[in-house]
Every structure is written in C-alpha cells, then in structure tokens.
Amino acid sequence: MKIGITCYPTYGGSGVVATELGKALASKGHQIHFISYALPHRLNHFIENIFFHEVEMSNYPLFEHNLYTLALTSKMLEVIEFENLDLVHVHYAIPHATSAYLARQILRKSKSDIKVITTLHGTDITLVGLEPSFLPLVKFSIEESDGVTAVSRFLKEKTLINYHIEKEIDVIYNFIDTEIYKRVSNENFKKMVAPENEKILMHTSNFRPVKRVSDTIKILERVKKEIPAKLVLIGDGPDRSECERLVRELNLQKDVFFLGKQDALAELLSAADIFLMPSQSESFGLSALEAMSCGVPVVSSSVGGLPELVVHNETGFIAEFGDIDRMSKYVVSLLNNEKKYQTFSQNCRNTAVNVFNKDIIVPQYEQYYDKILGS
C-alpha cells in the first residue's frame, strides 16, 4: 500500500504518533511518503520504504502572510499523482485536512480518486478548531474526509458534541514501541540528579500553559516536606521562563533540573520514580504512556483522555486539575509504600505491553485503511 502522511514535524504528540506510525507501517512493507514543511524529528536516520517530500514556501512580496495551506495542497497533488498513492492520512485537522480536501477536489477533475483519512489529536478540536473563524472549516473538513479517527473516546465525544457532527469516528488509541520504551540502567544520571538517593519526579511536555508545568514545581515543594526528592523537567516552550522564576522564588534551584528538549527519553524516564502530568487539558497523554512503558507510575489530573490511560489506584493516581495538595499526597503515599509501588510499576508496564503496544495498535490502522479503501 502507498500511503501519504502529513503531520507537524515538531516535538508535539501528533507529529510523534504520525511519524512512529509511518515507521511501523514501512517496516511491514508499506511505502510511506511524508509530506510536510520539514523533516519530522523522529526520522533521524534512513528507513527503507520511507520518503520525504518538503513543502516549499513562496516568498513573493505580494503575500504578506505565508500560504502554507495552498502550498501543502500543491505538494499533495504532486505526490499523489507521481507516486500513485492509495490514500492520504493527515494528522491534525488544521490545515492538513483542509489541504487534503482541496487536493482531492482538484484530482476529481481528472477522474482520479484518492481516499483521505483524518486523525484528530486534541488541540485541533478542543482549542484551535473552536475559534469562531476556524470552526466551520474544521467541521467541513472532518465531514468531507473519507474516514476519521480520534486518539481517545473523550476526543471522539468532544468532536461530535462541539461540531454537531453525525459522521462516524473510530477510536484508535496512541501507541508505543515497548521494546524502545523500557526500563534500562541509568545510574550515572541518577547520581547526578539525586546524589543522596532522593526520589526523582519527572515531567515532559512542550511547556504550554495548558500543561501547567508550574504545578509540578509546587508539587515538589510539598513532597520535599515529607520525602527527599528532586524534579526533572524535560522540554521547552513559552512557560519555561515563568517556571524558572518560580523555582528561584521557592528556593528550589538545587532541586529542579531543566533539561530542555531531549531525544533519549527512555533512558531518562528509567531514572524516574514518579511521572507528573497535571494538565488542564489532555486528549490522550502520550508522554504518560512513555513513562508507564518504562514502569513509572503516573500522578495526573483527571481531564480528557487521561482516565482512559491512567487507571486510578492501579497504574497511578488521578485528581482534579489544579488540586496540587491531593497530587502531592498521592506521590508521598506511593513512594512511602515500596510493595504498592512495585505493583503499580508492574501494572504500568503490563498496560503498555498488553494494551498500547504498536503491535496491537498499528494493525488497527491497517484494518481501517482497508475498510476505507473498500468503501
């Protein structure tokens, strides 16, 4: 099967999932063509059956703002025609689903047909798409897709309700390669962060306000009153400066480590004792799954799709977002009970392997492709 995949090439969850899906499909013999403005960061080495097509932007002075949606449409047309694609799978509604719709309409003039599948990842529905100027466009693009999937039941229901859509939406969860994300020895990093064998709390994100990264710092402050602990923050974004200011204000400079963007996540997560995800909105929680696959229990908010991933009192704990005191108590209670902690850790690994492993989820996408191509 020849499949075109369009995604954002950055560190966000939608781009990561799209790239890992393409890699998994390529390993099974499918020919994958990525179409984006930059090489997805997870494509950091040559992989057989994967090709990249860069969307080139025009700098014509008449256009005050870039025309990425139209440039993407043109590149899609080119790749669909010359590579003879069977379908295009776009990740994130804006503008990818819109560009795919335009490309398909143009191709119909030449009697050519291409199937379009749109996967919804979260903020394209819960934030960006609800902007009054975008809402009709998102609704139209979803309804005109041949197939639509969402990464959680929460996101599916949110889409149907917010956009009054009657179209069928299939839930296909995000996935992980449990052979890559597994606990490995990382004693050097542990000694650097926690030289006195302190417990290590960890968080990874793009440091946007919706992630509430500052809450992880406040949780550490409370936990330290009961247990010696450190906090490792991985990622970067608009809230990083405010988080650094808060660390200085609380005099936690020696206890909080800002690592910035990192690729060797499995090695870092293996050093963690607890993963924190106090988000205000989370359609799935891919970084929490990465931690769970490394056997790290999660303490999170109860928003969005997180309760579909984090089973309360089995793989971690969930609390109302913003309830820092309760999250802190959950962290302390788990770290003070070694037997319970080991049970939670094993539950996390088992959940990743038996429910969210790529060998379980990727075939669901293949079956969905067959379903849409046969419709």
pLDDT score for 130 = 60
Q: What mean pLDDT value characterizes the chain?
A: 92
The alpha carbon of 78 is separated from its chain's Cα centroid by a whole number of angstroms, namely: 29
pLDDT, tens digit, 9 for 90 and up, residues 3-59: 999 998 876 778 889 999 999 999 999 999 999 998 888 888 889 999 999 998 877
pLDDT band at 167 (very low <50, low <70, confident <90, very high): confident
Cross-strand pairs, 233: 203, 258
pLDDT, tens digit, 9 for 90 and up, residues 171-181: 999 999 999 99
pLDDT band at 109 (very low <50, low <70, confident <90, very high): confident
Instruction: Provide mean pLDDT across the span 114-138.
Output: 80
**Which 8-state DSSP code applies to residue 10?**
S
pLDDT score for 124 = 74
Q: Is 318 exposed, middle or buried (CB count within 10 Å of its CB: 0-12, 13-18, 19+)?
A: buried
pLDDT score for 99 = 94
pLDDT score for 62 = 61
Closest CA to 350 of 293, 308, 306: 293
pLDDT, tens digit, 9 for 90 and up, residues 55-95: 988 776 666 667 888 999 999 999 999 999 999 999 988 89
Domains in the chain, start-ordered, CATH in brackets? Answer: 2-175+357-373 (3.40.50.2000), 187-354 (3.40.50.2000)
Round to whole Å and give the CA distance between 235 and 208: 10
Closest CA to 178 of 289, 53, 47, 91: 289
For helices 13-27 and 286-293, angle between their N-to-C axes, nearest 10 degrees: 60
pLDDT score for 14 = 83
Whether 202 has a pLDDT exceeding 90, the answer reads yes
User: Across 28-42, 109-123, 328-342, which has the greatest mean pLDDT?
Assistant: 328-342
CA trace torsion 344, 350, 356, 360 (10° rounding) = -170
pLDDT, tens digit, 9 for 90 and up, residues 216-272: 999 999 999 999 999 999 999 999 999 999 999 999 999 999 999 888 889 999 999
Whether 279 has a pLDDT exceeding 80, the answer reads yes
C-alpha angle 243/248/251, rounded to 5°?
125
- Phi, psi at residue 268, to the nearest 5°? -70, -45
DSSP per-residue codes, 299-358? EEE--TTHHHHS-BTTTEEEE-TT-HHHHHHHHHHHHT-HHHHHHHHHHHHHHHHHTSBH
Round to whole Å and give the CA distance between 86 and 363: 17
pLDDT score for 148 = 96
Say if residues 320 and 269 touch (Cβ distance below 8 Å).
no
Round to whole Å and give the CA distance between 212 and 209: 5
**Residue that the structure tokens 């492709």 belong to:** 369
